[in-house]
A = this chain, B = another copy of it.
Amino acid sequence: MLLKYFYDDALAQASYMVGCQKTGEAAIVDPSRNIDAYFDTAEKEGLTITKVLETHIHADFVSGSRELAERASATIYYSLEGEGDSSAEYSFDSSLSTHGVRDGDEVKIGNVTFNVLHTPGHTPEHVSYLLTDGAASDHPLGMFTGDFIFVGDVGRPDLLEKAAGVKDSASKGAKDMFHSIEKAKKMDPTLQIWPGHGAGSACGKSLGSIPTTTLGYEINTNPAFQFDNVNSFSDFLLDEQPVPPAYFAIMKKVNKYGAPLLRDQRTPLRYGSNVKKIKQVLDSDTTVVDSRSKESFAQSHIPGTLNIAYDSSFTNWIGSLISYDKPLFFIAEPEHFPQIVEAMNAIGLDTTEGFFTPSIVESFEKEHGTDQYDVISPETAMNMQKNGDLQILDVREDHEFEAEHVKDAKHMVLNHLPEKGDQLADHTMALYCGSGARSAIATSILKSKGYDVKNIKGGFMRWKKEELPTES
């Protein structure tokens, strides 16, 4: 048997290839839409991808199952559990080769067996796959747990309700999760656990940065395994879950049906420093994301553009803040284009039209002038607020604000700014977050809405370090 781990850093998303060298077949568990990496490995190992195994309808990334069905002629294995619950039912195009599975079924490639276990909680249809390498032994080796068990956490049960609007599904999910965990506790504790996500995913609340674990270790140490009462477990699980990114609702729909094939997408192209085009684009109902550093954006930017710097949180913030209904352009370094296209594919933002290069900012400046904003020290911000020259605004998560915040600060979570930002009462504001990264994005959003905003250097971290006044 061959087992390979794949990990998409931008989405903290894990997928797996299991192959049987004897028959030359391979299966992919929970593939992402960027499937070239699977081909690379399969070709190197002399394997052919013939099967895709889905643990559930993913909410946080576009599944590569349809892409593999088309391009690898693979059969998709998906859960039939949760039937009757429309949110839990796949509706694959009938032209695809698919195969529904239920608890107790088994899927085979060569000597290798996947046993299906229904493990609802994160979603009603969620299944896990127990892996046995028949060539070596009858003992199962481990389990692909998708968004059931993570390292140190379990899948959150509230996404369907919060992101897809399925009423009361959060508390039902929490109860399901309790029973799924009870079931897991009775299994062989020496099993390996291969989870669907790592640290940084919004699918769990405290994911560790460890790729794999064992069931025994989770039984002993995972907080979610330490309950014997369904209600207290439920309270625990539903507490303090972060706001799900806006795009989760869209992902659910896309993955139910199988995502559009990449070959049918328009190719996003390069528009250089074409000032006429960006003018025209900004005048129409189109989003332009400037991916340069927050320092460069602060110093000079094209009015109406949003600033989401190309760093490790880029994909996340794009998914959380950018409309899926409008055409989308980026200002980006040419060497980042291919990765940005991959990232947009991964979250299904298929409206990406093209790229301008950073030199457009200078070209634009010569013709039309650009805009800038000030980055001020915490002390300056405090004094200006005292003098009534501006209002300080906290854009962190609710629980961060509640724990402690700048004295007299107002509060609106970054995720809500695109929709509710217009409702802010003050015109002149200085923004802060934890370290200055989120507030830079927020500043660009509020600027594009016409506010007069500044960013506070170093965020709440520096505010505290300089011992300026806070409150809870």
Contact = CB atoms under 8 A, between A and B. Distances in A.
Contacts of A209: 1-3, 19, 21, 45
Interface string A219-239: 111000000000000000000
A383 interface: no
Given A189-B216, A217-B141, A265 B262 contact: no
Contact of A190 (B211, B215, B270): B215
Contacts of A19: 209
Interface stretch (A251-259, A359-367, A409-417): A359-367
B210 A2 contact: yes
Looking at A208, A217, A264, the one whose CB has the most chain B CB atoms below 10 A away is A217
A335 B392 CA distance: 39
A26 B186 CA distance: 36
Interface in A321-366: 334-335, 353-354, 357, 359, 362-363, 366
A263 B270 contact: no
Contact of A273 (B48, B274, B357, B359): B48
B334 A208 contact: no
B276 A73 contact: yes
A2 B199 CA distance: 9
A269 interface: yes
A136 B190 contact: no
Nearest to A298: B295
Interface stretch (A35-43, A162-170, A174-182): A35-43
B141 A272 contact: no
A40 B334 contact: yes
A214 interface: yes
Interface string A94-108: 000000000000000
Given A263-B269, A269-B262, A363 B24 contact: yes
A283 to B, nearest CB: 14
Looking at A188, A269, A270, A274, the one whose CB has the most chain B CB atoms below 10 A away is A274
Interface residues of A, number: 80
A139 interface: yes
B5 A136 contact: no
A190 B208 contact: no
Contact of A46 (B4, B270, B353, B359): B359
Given A43-B359, A190-B190, A214 B214 contact: yes
A271 B71 contact: yes
A264 B263 contact: no
Contact of A214 (B136, B137, B191): B191
Interface in A422-452: none
A48 B361 CA distance: 12
A216 B271 CA distance: 40
Contacts of A266: 263-264
Interface string A64-93: 000000011100000000000000000000
B262 A39 contact: no
Contacts of A40: 334
A109 B413 CA distance: 35
Contacts of A216: 188-190, 214, 216
Contacts of A22: none
Interface in A384-398: none
Given A139-B221, A212-B212, A214-B214, 13 more contacts: A1-B208, A3-B209, A39-B270, A49-B272, A71-B271, A133-B210, A136-B208, A141-B213, A189-B189, A190-B217, A262-B267, A264-B266, A265-B267
Interface of A: 1-5, 9, 19, 21, 24, 35-36, 38-40, 42-46, 48-49, 71-73, 133, 136-137, 139, 141-142, 152, 188-192, 199, 208-217, 219-221, 262-277, 293, 295-296, 299, 312, 334-335, 353-354, 357, 359, 362-363, 366
8 contacts: A21-B209, A40-B334, A43-B273, A43-B357, A71-B277, A136-B221, A190-B214, A190-B217
